[in-house]
Structures are given as C-alpha cells and as structure tokens.
Structure 1
Amino acid sequence: MNSATPTPSKARFGKYIGIYLAIILFVCAFGLGVLAGQAYYVRKQIQNENGQIEISKVINLNRTLNKSDEVNFYQFWEIWDKIKQKYVNTNVKDVDLFYGAIEGMVYALGDPYSVYMVPKTADEFAKDLSGEFEGIGAEIGIKGGQLTVVAPLTDSPAEKAGLRAGDKILSIDKASTFGMDVNTAVSQIRGKAGTEVVLVITRNGAGKAFEVKITREKINVPSVNFSWQGDKVAYIRVLQFNEDTETDFDRYVSRLAKEGAKGIVLDLRNNPGGFLDTAVSMSSEWIENGVIVSEKSENGYGKDHPVVGGHRLVGYKTVVLVNGGSASASEIVAGALQDHGKAIVLGEKTFGKGSVQDFETFEDGSALKLTVAEWYTPNGRNINKDGIRPDIEFKEDWENEKIGEDKMLEKALELLTAKQWPPEKDKIVTTTTAEKAP
C-alpha cells in the first residue's frame, strides 16, 4: 500500500541518505577538537540551576528572533512541562511527544503530501519505492478533501477485490477516514500477509456506499511489462516508476529497432508515479531537445528539467494510454510527449498529482517529505491543478468488457495501424454505461 507517490528524485532520495551520513561522519571527525574545547561552555549555557539539561535552552541556543517572529517557544516548553508533571498517564515517552509535535507542525500546513515520518514509517516508505511490501497493493491520495484510491496495482489484492481508481474510502475497519492524512491511512490499511482489511467506499454512479473486503498479500511490484501486439506494435506497460523501472525499460527499448517495431503503445494507466529522474530519462527517449518538466513555486523558485541522453524512440508512432489512476511521474511523461508532439494521448483525464516533494532523512531514521513546488509541462500547464487531458478521450467500460478484453488498447492499435497519422484530435470515444457496485 502506497501513498500517492510524491515523485522524489533519486538524487534526493537514493543518494541523499549516503551523502547525508558521509557529511555527518566528516563533520563529527573534523569537529571533535573544537567540540572538546567548547563543550564545557555550551553545557553551562543549557543546564538549569540543578545541573540538568533543559531542552528549551538547547533549541533556542544562539537563536535570534527576528521582527516577524510571533511565536513564543517558551509556551511550547511550558506545555511540555505541564504534560510531564500533570498528565494522568506517566508512561508517555519523551520521544513520542517529540515526534508528535513535529507531526502536528507539518500537518498544520494543510498539505496532504507534506508529511513527517517516524523511523518505522520512513522505512516502510523506502520499501514501497523499492517495489516490495505487504498490504493490498493500491496507491492512495487526497482528492477533493477525501481519501481516494489513485490506482490499484495490477494483479494486486486490491484489484482482485474490485477496488478502482477514483473510489473514495469512507472508513478502514470501521474507523472513519474523515480528516485522516495519507500516512495514517496507509499504516491502517497495511498489515501482514493473510490478514483482512475492510474498506467502505463510494464510487461515482454506484449509489450507496458499500464494503470491499481485501486479504493482504506480499506485494512485489513489477516495474515494466512488454509484449508484441497486432502487426509489430510494441506494447510497453509501465506500472510504477520505482528503482528498477529505468533498467527494465531500457532492456525493452533496445529490442524495438532490432525486431522491427512499427509503433508503440506506452500504457501508463493506473501508474501512480515514482522517481522524477526515471520519468525524465524515459521521456527523453522520444524527445531530442528542450524541457521535459519544470518546477515552480509561489516564492519565485523555478527549475527546468531538460532532456537527457537516449532519443532511441524518436520518430516512432506512439500512443500513450492514461486514466484517472495515472499520477505524478506518469503525468510528467504523458504531458511532455504530448506538448512536444511525440505521441497521441488516449484515455481519460489524469489524477492531477503535480506537486514536488523534497525527501530528507535524519540521524534517527525519521524523514520529512515537504512540498516545495509544482510541476508544469513544457507548454506551461499546471499538472497539479489541471492534470493531463487526453488528445482523444476514451472512457473505459468496466462493466461490459469481457475478462481479458481491453477496448482502450484495441483503440490504440486501431489508431497506429490506420492510414491517417497523426489521427484527428479532440475526439471523444464513449463506450461506457452507468457503473454499478460489484
């Protein structure tokens, strides 16, 4: 079970941990002599009259408040002391109060994708990105203020139980999700393989809310699937932009020219996202120069992510499949290929998860995931606000498709083998009927 993937860069996530620890070790080694000389002076500054270390003095040591500061940190420590002295349960640990205070501070931002993670949660998040975890195999996020299924992973317990992209989760094992953040929801849905979780959900067109019972399993997320379709059309399904995606994708791309591919279907449906670097390198296989995606924030910060090496798929007729479960890194790829005129985007409007998170780990194993900007396509579209609208809208027919049937894929193959290329855009292909609850 994942939270809607925040598209961290591997440079920020994978390499950061090693660099951070290296810096810590270097600073510790270099600073031992200096610290030895200053230790007595600092200790006297932060001790109270009884010789005990006061946390408030540690925090405020050498800190100068500027005129804009309206926060009295001594009130925080006053409340801390009152809890320690008067709270009925004397078993409360300092570390729990400490973590709780930080979690509350980040929660106050009102951003579902900015999260402070205690060490255990941070470790689980890292496992999610590696592609192995135990749970139901679904990506969740916040949409319209409600806990929402971004996408069930292919062949996961969630998909087998009938969970769909866009489902709103009202409760988890009878606990209401009202006001619940993503990480709390993930921790409640996640569990040991073989155990069961009961979700109450609502679905567009389904009428009343209904229960979905799901048995948890060990989830091994495949990165990329490949097959030949029709008359030498390469079908590449990218399920997640995790640690293995770039290697797997590269292996399949190397086959296309050798085996005479006449077209490509890039399937990003129900792909919740992942690493930014992988999205940029994948897009660069079709795009020769220019920008893949840009980061922008209200404080004036901006950064372009340009094309990198590759370009092996330039000139191939390509159709990209998307739906409401395509999010984050998936939207970056679809938006870049669409804006550069390298592919036709077919399907439904994407999820609209276009915020940029920095991910930092700390000495104790905890981590902070903080939104610092929003994604914009090469033509300046705000992914977080608008999502990616397809060139040709095709609404999936969940109820009437037979097992193993994929009408959207069939439509993509039809477009690639038609005499006219590129096909007429801004068309709507409707095959849906009113959806009913399973």
Structure 2
Amino acid sequence: MSYSTPPSMPGSPTRLPVTQSRSTDRLAIISLVFSILGLFAFGIPALIGIITGHISRSRIRKQAGRLVGSGLALTGVILGYAALVFWALVLGCLALISTIQRASENIAKQSATQRQEDFVRKTQENTRARQAFKTRLIRKDRENEAADPPAPATGMKLVSYPGPLGSMAAYVSTDPGDGKKHPAIIWLVGGFSNSIAADVLEKGDPENDQSASAFREAGLLMLYPSLRGGNQNPGFKEGLLGEVDDVLAALAWLKQQPYIDPARIYLGGHSTGGTLALLVASSTTDLRAVISFGPAYSAAAYGQNVLPFDVENEAEAIPRAPILSLDAINAPTFVIEGVKGNIESLRRMRRSRSSQHVRFFEIKDADHFRVLRPLSELLANAILQDTGPTSKLDISDTMLQAAMKHHP
C-alpha cells in the first residue's frame, strides 16, 4: 500500500523563517563616552565623539535592522558639540581675563613709571630753583678749624670730597677689604657749625647719643660730611640752602667708591641734620631710604640768632622749608621725634600734603635726644636686612615703641 504526500496548502511556506539578529553599534558607544569625557578634558575628546557619532548614525541607517544605537550616537554628537561650546566659552573667558590682567599690569607699570618721572621732575625743579635762588646772607659765618683725624679703632678715615665750592672734609668708613660692595649711610650731624670733629665718632650717653655709632656697630659703613663754611671748607654757612648741594656732592662721591653699593646708600640726620636730610631727599632720587630725627618744618623756625639769613624774608625761608617739598620725596622716609621734643614741627608736616613715602612717628615718653640710641639700633638692623633690588625697609610704630621700652 502506498502513501502519497498530501499536497501543500496554497500560500503555506515550505520552511520556518529565521529571526534576524541586531546589535548596538560600538561607534555609538564610543561617541557617547568620548563626548562625556570632552566635558572634563578641555573638549579634545569631544571631537572624537562628534566624528564617531556621525559615522555611527550613517552606518545604522545603511544597515537598518542589523545595527541599533542611533539614539546613543545622537546623544554623543549633541554632547560633543556642547563640550566644544563650553570649552570655547571657558577659554574665551580665560583669554579675556588674561588680557585684562595684562592691560592692568601695563597700566600699573605706566603709572609707576609716570610717578617716578614725576618725582624726578620735582626733584630737578627743586634743585634748579634752589641753585637759581640768590640768597642774601645778613652775616657771613664760617669755621676755621681743621677736622681731626679719627682714631683707628673707629674704622673711619679723614678724606676730602669734591663739593660744589671746592674740597670738603668728611669721615668715611675704611674699605673692609673683602672685595664686596657694602651698604652705607650718610649721617648729617645736628647743630649749626657745618663742621665735623673726632668727638662725633665717640659713642655718647644712651640718653643723648648723637654719634650714630649704632649704625657702625651693626656693621654699616658710614660717611659724615662737613659742609660749606665748616672746618676749613670754602664758602659760608647758608642755613640749609647751599648745604643741600654739598650733601648731594658727598652722595655722588660715595657712590663712586669701589667698596660701596651705590644702590644701597641711606641718608640720616638729627635735629638740623634731620631737617637737611629732608631737603636733600626732595632733591634726589638716588637714596635708598631716609631717616630724619627731630627735624624742623622750616629752617627759619630755628630763629634769627643761629641763622645767617633773614628769617622774616619769605623768599629766603621757602627753599629752606621741608614742609613745602615733601611731595618730591620718593624714597621711604621715616620722620621720628619724641613727644617731649620738637613734636609740633612733626605734626605740622604730617598735616600738610606730603608724599606717600613719608611716614611720621611720635615716640611716647621720649624727648629730642632719648630716641636716638635705641631707634638707631633698630633701624641699623633693619637696613642690614634690606637686601632686595628695591628698598623694603619698613618699620612700624609698634616696633619703635617696643625698642624704646626695652632699651636699658
């Protein structure tokens, strides 16, 4: 008996269909990962994310049904562009900030340069005005006693420096002989003699030590110049007028000495020497810093008995008045006086319009002389530490008061 195969039904398949497999395009995943990284890595990976995202979307379209992940690729592309925009904004802001900073620095440099040029102009104007002014002395005073040679133990020697009127006597520290350039301070003694003598180098009583020996004891080199009309110097005493040019000449001479650091020359003085120091400071930009103990706001304030010019003549008083030229001082300047001393002159100058570089200190429970020894010691040590390219010499009222309190 034979069996026949039944006929196939119309429309029936001859075999079962095979299901098509699908996979996520790896480039879509790469696009998303790199675009996310681009948000945190300066946008560089975002470029890879954008490129791979576009390629992935193209591949998925061509192989419809076999590759998926178009949404991932699109997200990667969007994030990639977002990362580029984000980092473009960040870099733009940074560039803008940098530009602003550079512009500010340039403005600051220009301002500093302009201020320096202003100081130079003012000091030159002061010098020209002083040199052009022809004083009329009501008496012609001068000394006629040679400066004594200093004792070898002082470490000083007697020299002559070329002043504007001729050769002038001075005491200067000897060369340490170590081949180095050293800081130095020019010290202007008080009084009206314009002379120097060996006793100016002798350490005085702590209550009245006008020798400035504290600076030498600390290791600083020093110059004590005599001035016109003093010792056997040419000219007559002018009551702090032509004497300014004498000190400027001493400064120029000291800068030329091979063992002196020309960028670290300080100026100090006490009483009339402090007044003269302020007048000199307003006539030069070559000083590192200035220390003025107990100055007068004007030389005329000392009175007619000790001055060779008419103190009632305003034309004579003006070029001799530090209060009128403080705004030309560009070196750090410290004006110091005891409250029991010539304090009204200090207060009068402080109330005036003065340079930002001039600072005033009133010392409690001290007079015109008591401030010298303890504060000179403090200042000497501060000068030795002032070693940078520009002066950073800084003292505070607290430091000064403490030095006075703890000095024996």
Normalized against structure 1, the TM-score is what?
0.29
Q: Which structure has the bigger radius of gyration?
A: 2
Higher helix share goes to which structure?
Answer: 2
Higher strand share goes to which structure?
Answer: 1
Using CA pairs below 8 Å that are at least 6 residues apart, which structure has the higher relative contact order?
1
